[in-house]
Amino acid sequence: MTRTRVLIVDRDEPEPDLIAEAAVVLSRGGLVAFATETVYGLGAVATNADAVRGIFQAKGRPSNNPLIVHAADVDHARRYAARWDDRAESLARRFWPGPLTLVVPRTASIPDVVAAGGPTVGVRVPAPTVARRLIERVGLPLAAPSANRSNRISPTLAEHVAADLDGRVDLILDSGPTAVGLESTVLDLTAEPPRVLRPGPITADELSAALGVAVESGPVATDPGRLASPGMLPVHYAPKTRALRVPTVAELVAVDWPERAGLIAFEPLPEGSIPDRVVRFVLPDPVVAARELYRALHDLDARGLDLIVAVEPPAGAAWDAPRDRLRRATTPHR
């Protein structure tokens, strides 16, 4: 594949000719990266098994990790579910378009490669106009994982996609930074009770309140060939730079800082807790932290530092998704 083309598209009123151009690439089996509200996705037509295989190849993704299918609206998504019960309907009506993926039994029109051979499919309706216009124009749902090489940090800017996947995908639609910044919550509706497989912007408590039933969290043991949700592997999303985490800002004094180092923290730093030379991102609000975490990691990683240190986010459900992603991107200090 030659160099990837980048088209800059208006986030609120996407130019119809640019959407049409991207739709043609997809309809011919190509790969197009586009922004969702969470992170940039790497899209292919979900019903085209060959095109979807191209996603796995471009990312270097293991074939046992299923992809999320993006639909234009609730009715569109429902067509690809072999069972769509009241729970699915009420969550879809309440949270879509939005950062919630529902795992439901799949129909035969979803190829095995999308589902990693399993009986279910993860579906969601993304919020941005660009994403929904694109799906509408293609007329078919788009399978799209995050648009990064496997095990790298997810992209929240088109520049992140280009840096990671240039020459490996056909087209990038650049509509600016993503609004939410962390991947969708993945909820398994085939489990009883429903189970959050990946924490995200919509918390288990919100889902539980909407459903009126308890919602569990965390992976369940399944057959070893097929991961319940590989996003739940302990290390994922890793930067290239050595990255450690400490539990609290008080522990920062124990760090042996190299000359070139960076820090990410989620509360103000006590005076004199780190050397002045350390490049720092302090993100004390959970919404800002979600939006900026990957950008901060990409930024620090691109500087060629010798060490990145992160302080774990404070307790509380609002911090669950940032805490989860940060834990996957770092290893404990000592």
Provide the binding-site residues for Mg ion, judged by CB under 5 A: 146
Nearer to ligand TXA, 261 or 290 (CB): 290
At 56, the amino acid letter reads F
Nearer to Mg ion, 146 or 229 (CB): 146
We find the least distance from the C-beta atom of residue 20 to ligand TXA, in angstroms, to be: 22
The C-alpha atoms of residue 223 and residue 293 are separated, in whole angstroms, by 33
Determine which helix (DSSP H) or strand (DSSP E) holds 216, and give its type and residue range.
strand 216-217
Nearer to Mg ion, 213 or 235 (CB): 235
Per-residue exposure over 177-207, b if at least 16 CB sit within 10 Å of its own CB, e if not:
bbbbbbbbbbbbbeeeebbbbbbbbbbbebb
Query: Which residues contact ligand TXA by CB under 6 A?
Result: 36, 38-39, 41, 65-68, 99, 101, 103, 115, 118, 120-122, 144-146, 183-184, 186, 197-198, 229-231
Nearer to ligand TXA, 253 or 287 (CB): 287
We find the least distance from the C-beta atom of residue 152 to Mg ion, in angstroms, to be: 9
Using CA atoms, how far residue 109 sits from 81, 114, 115, 321, in Å, is 10, 10, 11, 32
Q: Which does 118 bind (CB under 5 to 8 A by kind): ligand TXA, Mg ion, none?
A: ligand TXA
Beta bridge partners of residue 261, listed in sequence order: 307
Q: Which does 36 bind (CB under 5 to 8 A by kind): ligand TXA, Mg ion, none?
A: ligand TXA
Q: Which does 120 bind (CB under 5 to 8 A by kind): Mg ion, ligand TXA, none?
A: ligand TXA
Nearer to ligand TXA, 151 or 273 (CB): 151
DSSP strands (E only) in 14-146: 32-35, 40-45, 68-70, 100-105, 120-124, 142-143
Contact criterion met (CB below 8 Å) for 94 and 210: yes
